[in-house]
C-alpha cells in the first residue's frame, strides 16, 4: 500500500488548469465540485432569506418588512432551499463524486449528460434569481393555484420555468446513477457487496426519475395557463385547484425522500467507519431504502387532508403514511445497533451522525402526528408543520450533508480539516438547530399559523428563542465554510485513508487520479468488511 | 484480515495512467468511450439510459393524462360533445401515418444491424422523417381549422353546444396534449436529422448502431403516445 | 456487438396488425355501446402499444431489466391514476362532506 500513499503525480485536481478545463470537464469528480460551489452559493442565498424572515419575526408587528415583502421572502427561501439546495445537495456533490468510485468505474455512464445536468441546474437557477430580483414571487414554494394563477404577479412564469428546468438536471442525475449502478459495477461487485451509500442513491434516483417529470409538467401547465389562458387548474377558467395539489405532491412528497435518503446513505457509511463495525443488518438497511422510495409515492394525499379531499381517500393516505415509518425506523434501529458495542470514536463526522439520529427521530415521529387526520386538522398550516419538516430536512438532510462533506473532505481535497473547530461547529449546528425549531413545535401547537409576518404578542417569547437559535445555527454554518476553504492550502495532507475506513474510495490516492482506477478492481468480498472490534485490536 | 489492511485491490506502481484502459493491448472500436470496458457494455448502458428516460416521459405525459381523466370524470357528456367536433378521419389518417413511420424506423434500425449500405439506411431514415413531417402538416391543418371556427380556449372561445364550459376544458387539454406531442415530434425529427447525417457518413454498421436504435426507441415512444391520444381525444364522441 | 435481428416479415405483420387495430377502433367508436366503447378503445390502444413495445422496440428480445423498467413506468402511472381517482370518486360518500 505504500506505493500509493504519496500523492505525487497527476490527480483530478492538477490534471489541467484554467477555466476551460473545469467548465468543459467530463470528469465526474470535477463536476461534483462545480455542483459543490453552486449548491453552497444557493444555500447561502436561501439562508440569507431565512435570516430576514427570522429578523422580521423577532417582533409581533410587521415592522422590518411589509407583509407583501414577507410573502416574497418565505417563498424565495422555500424555492431556493428545496429545489436548488436540498434536492441536489448530496446526490449531485457527494453522489457524483463517489458513486463511480464506489462501484469501481472510471466515470458515470454518461459523462457529457452529467456536465449537461450542471448547466441545466445553473440555467434554472438563473431563471429563479431573475424572478427574485425583478420583483419576486409570493405564492409560497408550493405554487398553489389560484395563488399562482389569479392572485399573483407575473414572475410566477419565470420562477416556474426555473423549477421546470432544474427538474431536468435532477432527472438526468438520477438516470446517470441508475445506469451506472446497473451497468458499470466492477467484476465481482454484486448488489449485496455494494456500499449502502450506493443503495440509498439508487433509491433516490428512482424517485428522481419517476416523480420529477410530474412536477415538471405541472409547473409547465401553470406557466402555460398564465400565458395562454388554457383552463387546467385555475377555477376562474373552470379548472380544479385540488388536481394541482395532487400532481404537485405526487412529486413533492417523494421529493422529501430525495432529500433524506442520500443523507441516510452518508450516515450508514460514517457510522460504520467510526464504530469500526459492519452495519447491523445490511440487507435490511439496503431494502429499507427501496421501501422508503416506493412507499413514499403512496402517501402524498396527507397534504390534502383539509383541502377538500374525500374522507375515504384521506383515510387511505393516512394509513399508507404510517407505513413509511417502518423502513425509516428500521434504519434508525440498525444504526443504533451498529454503534452498540462498537469501538466508537467521536470525530466530527460522527457527531453529525449522532445529531442526525436524534433529530431525524423527532422529525419522523412528529410526522406521524401529521399523518393522523384528526390531529392534522388542528396543526395544519401552523408552525408545528414548519418545525416537523425542518427537523427532517435540516436536522436530517443537512446533518447528513455536513457530516458527509467532513468525512470525504480528505478524499476530495487530499487535505484534513481542523478537527477542533469542526467539533465546535457541529455543536453549534446541533444546539442552534434545536433552539430554532423546537419552540416552533410549541408555538405551532398553540396555534400560530405559518406564512404571516405578524403574530399575537403571547407568541413572542417562542419567536425570540427561535431567532436566537437561528443566529447560533448561522454561525455553525459559517465556521465550516471558512475553515474548509482555509484547509485547502494550510492543512496537513490526508493520505489515502485517514479514517482507517473501508470501501473502494479509500484504496485510491487522495485526491483520486482522473481515471479513478488504473486497472479495474476485482472485488471478492463486501466492500465494507470491518472486522469486529476485538480483532482490530489484535491486528494492530 | 489481510496484512495490507485493505481489501483486495492493489493498484501497483502504475496507479496513474491518464487515458489508460484495463488492457492496453486490446484493439478498441473507434467509437468506444474511454470509461467503458467494451462495446457491449456501452450499448447496454445507452439503451438502458434511453429506456429510463422514456419512463420519465411516461410520467411527464402522465400528468396530462391525469388531468384528462379527472375532467372527463367530472363532465363525461361535455367531453363527448366536444370530441365530436374533432375531425375523426384526419385523426385516423395521422395515426396511420405515425404507424408507417414506426415501421420504416424499425426497418432503419434493422438496416444498420444487418450491415446494409448507407443508401438503404439513409433511405429508411428519410422516409421516417417524411412521415413525421406529414403528421405535423395534418396537425397544423387541424389547428388552423380550430382557430378558424373559434374552438381555441380563451376569451374568443365559441361553443354553441350544450356544455360550453366542459368543451373549453376539453380543448384546453386537446391543445396541451397534442401540442406537447407535436413538440416531441419536432424533437424526434431533429434527432433523426442528426442520425441521417451520421448514417450518410457511414458511421453505423453491425458493430455500432446504438444511436440509431436509441433514436428509434424515442420515435416509437412518441408514436405510442399518439396511439392513446387518438381514441381519448377523437373517438369518445364518435358515436354521437 | 450482438442484438436480435428480427425478420423483415415480422415487422410487416406487426405493421398490418397496427393498421387493422386503428381501423377496428374507428369502427367500434362509430357504434354506441355505452361504457363498453371506452373499454374497447382502451383495450385496442393497449394492444397496439404492446405490439410496438414488444416488436418495434425489441423488448421481446431484451433483458429482464428492460422489462422491469417498462413495467415500472406503467405501474407508477397507475399509482398516480388510482390514488388520485380514489379521492375524486369517493367525494361526498360521507354525508355532509363537500362533493
Q: Do C48 and B227 touch (CB under 8 A)?
A: yes
In eight-state DSSP terms, residue A381 is: T
A329 contacts A322 by C-beta, under 8 angstroms: no
In eight-state DSSP terms, residue A308 is: T
Q: Do A521 and B20 touch (CB under 8 A)?
A: no
* Chain B CB within 8 Å of residue C16 CB: no
* Chain A CB within 8 Å of residue C63 CB: no
Choosing among A238, A499, A505, A536, which should be mutated to test the B contact, i.e. which has the most B CBs within 10 A? A238
In angstroms, the Cα distances linking B178 to B8, B139, B222, C9 are 56, 9, 11, 32
* Chain B CB within 8 Å of residue C79 CB: no
> Is the pLDDT assigned to residue B212 strictly greater than 90?
yes
Q: Do B99 and C32 touch (CB under 8 A)?
A: no
A272 contacts A530 by C-beta, under 8 angstroms: yes
A520 contacts B10 by C-beta, under 8 angstroms: no
- DSSP bridge partners of A493: A415
Lookup: cell for B235: 373517438
Q: What is the spatial distance between Cα A255 and Cα C41, in angstroms, rounded to a whole number?
A: 35
Q: What is the pLDDT of residues A386-410, one digit of tens each?
A: 999 999 998 899 999 999 999 999 9
pLDDT at C99: 61
Q: What is the spatial distance between Cα A437 and Cα A473, in angstroms, rounded to a whole number?
A: 11
pLDDT at A518: 85
For residue A237, list chain B residues with Cβ-Cβ distance below 8 A: 153, 168, 172
* Chain C CB within 8 Å of residue A233 CB: no
pLDDT at B58: 97
Nearest to B15 among A107, A110, A509 (CB): A509
Lookup: cell for A324: 413509511
Work out the minimum CA distance from B219 to partner chain A, whole angstroms. 19
Which range, of A51-65, B1-15, C49-63, averages the lowest pLDDT? B1-15
* Chain A CB within 8 Å of residue B176 CB: yes
Which residue in A87, A184, A93 sits closest to B33, CA to CA?
A184
> Is the pLDDT assigned to residue A108 strictly greater than 90?
yes
Q: Which residues in chain A (180-219) have CB-CB distances under 8 A to chain C?
A: 182, 210, 214
Work out the minimum CA distance from B55 to partner chain C, whole angstroms. 5
Q: What is the pLDDT of residues A492-522, one digit of tens each?
A: 999 999 999 999 999 999 999 999 998 889 9
For residue B228, list chain C residues with Cβ-Cβ distance below 8 A: 45, 49
* Chain C CB within 8 Å of residue B107 CB: yes
Looking at chain B, the number of H-run helices and the number of E-run strands are 6, 0
* Chain A CB within 8 Å of residue B9 CB: yes
Compare A174 and A155 and report the one with higher pLDDT.
A174
Q: Do B235 and C29 touch (CB under 8 A)?
A: yes
A31 contacts A114 by C-beta, under 8 angstroms: yes
> Is the pLDDT assigned to residue A529 strictly greater than 80?
no
A157 contacts A137 by C-beta, under 8 angstroms: no
Which residue in A292, A294, A314 sits closest to A303, CA to CA?
A314
pLDDT at C34: 83
SS3 (DSSP) at C11: helix
- Greatest extent of chain B over all pairs of C-alpha atoms, in Å: 87
Nearest to A182 among C65, C84, C88 (CB): C65
SS3 (DSSP) at B237: coil
For residue A213, list chain B residues with Cβ-Cβ distance below 8 A: 56-60, 62-63
Lookup: cell for A349: 463526522
Q: What is the spatial distance between Cα A134 and Cα A128, in angstroms, rounded to a whole number?
A: 10
pLDDT at A538: 39
Lookup: cell for B51: 429506456
SS3 (DSSP) at B198: helix
In eight-state DSSP terms, residue A191 is: G
A398 contacts A329 by C-beta, under 8 angstroms: no
Evaluate the CA torsion angle A511, A513, A514, A517 in order and state its sign: negative
* Chain A CB within 8 Å of residue C98 CB: yes
SS3 (DSSP) at C34: coil
For residue B233, list chain C residues with Cβ-Cβ distance below 8 A: none
Work out the minimum CA distance from C39 to partner chain B, whole angstroms. 11
Work out the minimum CA distance from A183 to partner chain C, whole angstroms. 11
> Is the pLDDT assigned to residue B15 strictly greater than 50?
no
As a whole number, the mean pLDDT across chain C is 92
Choosing among B25, B36, B45, B47, which should be mutated to test the A contact, i.e. which has the most A CBs within 10 A? B45
Q: Phi/psi at A382 (nearest 5 deg)?
A: -110, 180
How far is C-alpha A122 from the geometric centre of its chain's CA atoms?
Answer: 18
How far is C-alpha A108 from the geometric centre of its chain's CA atoms?
Answer: 21
Please name the residue of chain C whose CA is at the shortest distance from the CA of residue B101: C15
Nearest to C52 among B73, B88, B220 (CB): B220
* Chain C CB within 8 Å of residue B207 CB: yes
Please name the residue of chain B whose CA is at the shortest distance from the CA of residue A217: B60
Q: Does the predicted TM-score (pTM) go above 0.90?
A: yes
CB atoms within 10 A of CB B190: 11
A146 contacts A241 by C-beta, under 8 angstroms: yes
Which residue in A271, A288, A320 sits closest to A203, CA to CA?
A288
pLDDT at A88: 96
Work out the minimum CA distance from C94 to partner chain B, whole angstroms. 19
Q: What is the pLDDT of residues B91-128, one digit of tens each?
A: 999 999 999 999 999 999 999 999 999 999 999 999 99
B223 contacts B98 by C-beta, under 8 angstroms: yes
At residue C7 the predicted structure's pLDDT band, cuts being 50, 70 and 90, is very high
Q: Do B113 and C49 touch (CB under 8 A)?
A: no
* Chain B CB within 8 Å of residue C85 CB: yes
Direct distance between the N- and C-terminal alpha carbons of chain C, in angstroms, rounded to an integer: 59
Q: What is the pLDDT of residues A473-497, one digit of tens each?
A: 999 999 999 999 999 999 999 999 9
Q: What is the spatial distance between Cα A100 and Cα A108, in angstroms, rounded to a whole number?
A: 6
Q: What is the spatial distance between Cα A484 and Cα A493, in angstroms, rounded to a whole number?
A: 14
B135 contacts B90 by C-beta, under 8 angstroms: no
| Pairs of CB atoms within 8 A across A/C | 45
Say if residue A368 is exposed, middle or buried (CB neighbours under 10 Å; 0-12, 13-18, 19+): middle
In angstroms, the Cα distances linking B31 to B23, B113, B209 are 17, 16, 10
> Is the pLDDT assigned to residue A8 strictly greater than 60?
no
Please name the residue of chain C whose CA is at the shortest distance from the CA of residue A317: C83
How far is C-alpha C91 from the geometric centre of its chain's CA atoms?
Answer: 28
* Chain C CB within 8 Å of residue B113 CB: yes
Choosing among C7, C19, C55, C56, which should be mutated to test the B contact, i.e. which has the most B CBs within 10 A? C56
For residue B155, list chain A residues with Cβ-Cβ distance below 8 A: 229
Amino acid at each position: 500500500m505504500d506505493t500509493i500513499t504519496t500523492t505525487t503525480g497527476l490527480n483530478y485536481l492538477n490534471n489541467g488548469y484554467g477555466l476551460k478545463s473545469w467548465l468543459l470537464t467530463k470528469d465526474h469528480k470535477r463536476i461534483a465540485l462545480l455542483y459543490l460551489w453552486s449548491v453552497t452559493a444557493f444555500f447561502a442565498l436561501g439562508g440569507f432569506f431565512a435570516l430576514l424572515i427570522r429578523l422580521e419575526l423577532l417582533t409581533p408587528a410587521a415592522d422590518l418588512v411589509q407583509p407583501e415583502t414577507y410573502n416574497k421572502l418565505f417563498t424565495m427561501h422555500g424555492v431556493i432551499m428545496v429545489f436548488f439546495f436540498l434536492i441536489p445537495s448530496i446526490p449531485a456533490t457527494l453522489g457524483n463524486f463517489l458513486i463511480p468510485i464506489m462501484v469501481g468505474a472510471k466515470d458515470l455512464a454518461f459523462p457529457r449528460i452529467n456536465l449537461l445536468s450542471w448547466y441545466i441546474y445553473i440555467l434554472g437557477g438563473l431563471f429563479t434569481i431573475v424572478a427574485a430580483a425583478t420583483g419576486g414571487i409570493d405564492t409560497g414554494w408550493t405554487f398553489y393555484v389560484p395563488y399562482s394563477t389569479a392572485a399573483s404577479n407575473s414572475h410566477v412564469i419565470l420562477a416556474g420555468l426555473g423549477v421546470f428546468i432544474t427538474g431536468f438536471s435532477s432527472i438526468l442525475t438520477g438516470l446517470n446513477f441508475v445506469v451506472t449502478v446497473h451497468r458499470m459495477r466492477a467484476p465481482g461487485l454484486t448488489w449485496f457487496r455494494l456500499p449502502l451509500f450506493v443503495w440509498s442513491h439508487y433509491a433516490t434516483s428512482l424517485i428522481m426519475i419517476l416523480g420529477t417529470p410530474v412536477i415538471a409538467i405541472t409547473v409547465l401547465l401553470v406557466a402555460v395557463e398564465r400565458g395562454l389562458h388554457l383552463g387546467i387548474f385555475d377555477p376562474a377558467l373552470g379548472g380544479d385547484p385540488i388536481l394541482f395539489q395532487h400532481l404537485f405532491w405526487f412529486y413533492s412528497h417523494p421529493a422529501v425522500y430525495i432529500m433524506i435518503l442520500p443523507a441516510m446513505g452518508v450516515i450508514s457509511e460514517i457510522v460504520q467507519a467510526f464504530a469500526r463495525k459492519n452495519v447491523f443488518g445490511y440487507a435490511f438497511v439496503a431494502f429499507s431504502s427501496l421501501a422508503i422510495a416506493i412507499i413514499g409515492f403512496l402517501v402524498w394525499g396527507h397534504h390534502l387532508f383539509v383541502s377538500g379531499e374525500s374522507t375515504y381517500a384521506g383515510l387511505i393516505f393516512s394509513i399508507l403514511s404510517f407505513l413509511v415509518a417502518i423502513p425509516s425506523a428500521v434504519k434508525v434501529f440498525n444504526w443504533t445497533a451498529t454503534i452498540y458495542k462498537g469501538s466508537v470514536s467521536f470525530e466530527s463526522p460522527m457527531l453529525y451522525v449522532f445529531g442526525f439520529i436524534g433529530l431525524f427521530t423527532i422529525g419522523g415521529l412528529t410526522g406521524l402526528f401529521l399523518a393522523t387526520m384528526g390531529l392534522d386538522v388542528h396543526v395544519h398550516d401552523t408552525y408545528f408543520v414548519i418545525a416537523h419538516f425542518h427537523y427532517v430536512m435540516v436536522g436530517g438532510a443537512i446533518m447528513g450533508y455536513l457530516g458527509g462533506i467532513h468525512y470525504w473532505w480528505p478524499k476530495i481535497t487530499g487535505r484534513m480539516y481542523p478537527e477542533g473547530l469542526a467539533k465546535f461547529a457541529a455543536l453549534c449546528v446541533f444546539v442552534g438547530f434545536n433552539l430554532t425549531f423546537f419552540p416552533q413545535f410549541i408555538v405551532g401547537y398553540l396555534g400560530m399559523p405559518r406564512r404571516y409576518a405578524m403574530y399575537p404578542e403571547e407568541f413572542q417569547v417562542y419567536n425570540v428563542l427561535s431567532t436566537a437559535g437561528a443566529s447560533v445555527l448561522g454561525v455553525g454554518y459559517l465556521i465550516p465554510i471558512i475553515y474548509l476553504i482555509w484547509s485547502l492550502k494550510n492543512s496537513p495532507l490526508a493520505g489515502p485513508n485517514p479514517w482507517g475506513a473501508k470501501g473502494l474510495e479509500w484504496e485510491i490516492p487522495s485526491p483520486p487520479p482522473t481515471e479513478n482506477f488504473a486497472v479495474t478492481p476485482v472485488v471478492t468480498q463486501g466492500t465494507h468488511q470491518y472486522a469486529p472490534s476485538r480483532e482490530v485490536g489484535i491486528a494492530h | 484480515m489481510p496484512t495490507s489492511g485493505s481489501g483486495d485491490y492493489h493498484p501497483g506502481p502504475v496507479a496513474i495512467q491518464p487515458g489508460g484502459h484495463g488492457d492496453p493491448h486490446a484493439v478498441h472500436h473507434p467509437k468506444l468511450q474511454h470509461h467503458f470496458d467494451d462495446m457491449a457494455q456501452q450499448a447496454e448502458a445507452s439503451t438502458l439510459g434511453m429506456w429510463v428516460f422514456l419512463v420519465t416521459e411516461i410520467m411527464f405525459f402522465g400528468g396530462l393524462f391525469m388531468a384528462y381523466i379527472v375532467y372527463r370524470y367530472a363532465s363525461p357528456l361535455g367531453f363527448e360533445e366536444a370530441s365530436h367536433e374533432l375531425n375523426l378521419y384526419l385523426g385516423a389518417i395521422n395515426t396511420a401515418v405515425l404507424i408507417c413511420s414506426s415501421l420504416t424506423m424499425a426497418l432503419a434500425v434493422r438496416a444498420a444491424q444487418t450491415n446494409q449500405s448507407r443508401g438503404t439506411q439513409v433511405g429508411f431514415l428519410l422516409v421516417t422523417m417524411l412521415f413525421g413531417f406529414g403528421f405535423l402538416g395534418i396537425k397544423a391543418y387541424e389547428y388552423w381549422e380550430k382557430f378558424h371556427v373559434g374552438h381555441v380556449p380563451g376569451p374568443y372561445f365559441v361553443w354553441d353546444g350544450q356544455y360550453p364550459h366542459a368543451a373549453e376544458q376539453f380543448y384546453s387539454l386537446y391543445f396541451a396534449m397534442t401540442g406537447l406531442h407535436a413538440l416531441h415530434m419536432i424533437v424526434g425529427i431533429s434527432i433523426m436529422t442528426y442520425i441521417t447525417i451520421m448514417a450518410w457518413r457511414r458511421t453505423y454498421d453491425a458493430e455500432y448502431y446504438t444511436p440509431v436504435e436509441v433514436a428509434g426507441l424515442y420515435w416509437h415512444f412518441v408514436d405510442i403516445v399518439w396511439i392513446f391520444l387518438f381514441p381519448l381525444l377523437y373517438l369518445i364522441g364518435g358515436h354521437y | 456487438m450482438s442484438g436480435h435481428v428480427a425478420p423483415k416479415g415480422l415487422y410487416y405483420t406487426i405493421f398490418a396488425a397496427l393498421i387493422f387495430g386503428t381501423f377496428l377502433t374507428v369502427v367500434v367508436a362509430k357504434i354506441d355501446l355505452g361504457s363498453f366503447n371506452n373499454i374497447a378503445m382502451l383495450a385496442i390502444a393497449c394492444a397496439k402499444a404492446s405490439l410496438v413495445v414488444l416488436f418495434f422496440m425489441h423488448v421481446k428480445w431484451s433483458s429482464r431489466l428492460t422489462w422491469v423498467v417498462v413495467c415500472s413506468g406503467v405501474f407508477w402511472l397507475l399509482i398516480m391514476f388510482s390514488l388520485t381517482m380514489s379521492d375524486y370518486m369517493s367525494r361526498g360518500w360521507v354525508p355532509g362532506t363537500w362533493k
